[in-house]
Amino acid sequence: MRTGTTPLALGITGIWVVVWLVTQRIATPPLSTTPTLAFAFGACLLAVLGYGSVLRGRRSWGGTSTSARLDGELTESVLAAGRTLPYLRGGLTPDTASQVAELLLPLAGATGVALSDSDRVLGTAGVVPASPPVVDLGRFQRSPVVHDRVTGGAVHAVSVPLQVRSRTAGSMTVFHQGAARPSVERIEGLARLVSLHLELAELTQEAQLASDARLDALRAQINPHFLFNTLNTIASKSRTAPDEARHLLQRLADFFRYSIRQDGQLAEFANEYFFVRTYLALEQARYEERLDVNFDIDPQVLSVKIPVLMLQPLVENAVKHGIAPKTGGGRLTLKARVDSLGGAVRLSVRDDGVGMSEEVLQRLVNRNFDVRPTGGVGLANISERLEHLYGERYRLDIRSSAGKGTRIDLQVPLR
């Protein structure tokens, strides 16, 4: 590493450490992954811009001297833009482009700002020519001089491409009139910051799509054997206990209605609790006295939001892989508590079934979920969704002993 870059590398490392301490340890509750990354990237961008300015010293462009005062103004501008650009979380659209252009106008020190995608202007702010000059989106460019039809004055334009993951997503064009010209450094810095927010928006959207796909996969993985066995139970009871059979049929309809129609990634615990009780009522009708269920639920948990379809797969694993194979059956216990001091929800699913071997347990603990028959697919799906929703701010602990049962403890932040 060259000596000139050593302080910069150390500084960036220090920034990440400080950001992690502030957002994950000091902040209560800890910030989620997206704002943490945005804050860290913004701080690193400031460090890189400031370090480059120190190395270059004084410069001049168009007869205007740039000094430490300009560097201070640039830093202030980038900080202000970093606080306001969450408008771009949905990507660059005509609505968001107009709002962002309004915010960038005073920061760029120009008379007009235009944001474009690959083929058209999406939003403008300030004084912009009726027909903005066509620019090459792939490179930095100063356009030819155009004349404003209202004032007749000369209008200069500086266009900077918006780069998102090695591709050009659009451009930011800054217009200025008269002899005073805005800082090119400031324009480039703001364009890089807009590009960063666009990239974060794309990553967030991709992560959301992946999480939605995992949720859809979980809905599709509802065991068909469970449906067939439940229908057989209902058919059997329709002859001996028609009222109970009718009640079970209604429960089965409620079960599938909830699993299919539930929207979003989060749901109130009360809804998930109802879903789990519906599932267990159907299983108890099948296993009868072989399945004993105990609920230990803190009423404070009922209004708290947890990941949707998170409890039922854990309960199903306990019934299918723990209690069902055990001669004489066993007991399943569902426990839920709110840890107000720690800002978390604690959930526990415990059974006294057949348990699992030490080898299988270690593979699950090491997040190797490709094991059978222990519900590894469901656990993998749950683990991936938790990581998307909470980053490292969740806990999924698995404890088991062969012949003694299994316990899964889940802790997620309060929202």
Q: What is the pTM of this model?
A: 0.52
Per-residue pLDDT reduced to its tens digit, 100-111:
888 888 877 778
Residues 6+ apart with CB under 8 A from 222: 256, 259
Nearest residue to 349 (alpha-carbon basis) of 305, 415, 411: 411
For residue 323, what pLDDT is reported? 95
Of residues 197 and 299, more confidence is placed in 299
For residue 335, what pLDDT is reported? 97
Identify the weakest region by mean pLDDT among 48-62, 210-224, 234-248: 48-62
Of residues 369 and 304, more confidence is placed in 304
For residue 332, what pLDDT is reported? 97
Of residues 243 and 168, more confidence is placed in 243
Residue 259 clears pLDDT 90, i.e. is over it: no
Per-residue pLDDT reduced to its tens digit, 286-297:
999 999 999 999
Nearest residue to 271 (alpha-carbon basis) of 319, 325, 309: 309
Identify the weakest region by mean pLDDT among 5-19, 66-80, 122-136, 337-351: 66-80
Residue 88 clears pLDDT 50, i.e. is over it: yes
Listed ranges 8-17, 99-108, 283-292, 376-385; the one with the highest mean pLDDT: 283-292
Nearest residue to 72 (alpha-carbon basis) of 85, 53, 100: 53
For residue 52, what pLDDT is reported? 53
The band of 181, judged by pLDDT with boundaries at 50, 70 and 90, is low
The band of 204, judged by pLDDT with boundaries at 50, 70 and 90, is low
CA–CA distance, 347 with 55 (Å, rounded to integer): 54
For residue 384, what pLDDT is reported? 80
Per-residue pLDDT reduced to its tens digit, 54-85:
444 444 333 344 434 444 454 454 444 445 45
Of residues 36 and 213, more confidence is placed in 36
Residue in the block written with tokens 């006295």: 289
Mean pLDDT of the chain: 76
Q: What is the mean pLDDT of residues 294-310?
A: 93
CA–CA distance, 240 with 238 (Å, rounded to integer): 6
For residue 51, what pLDDT is reported? 57
Residue 171 clears pLDDT 60, i.e. is over it: yes
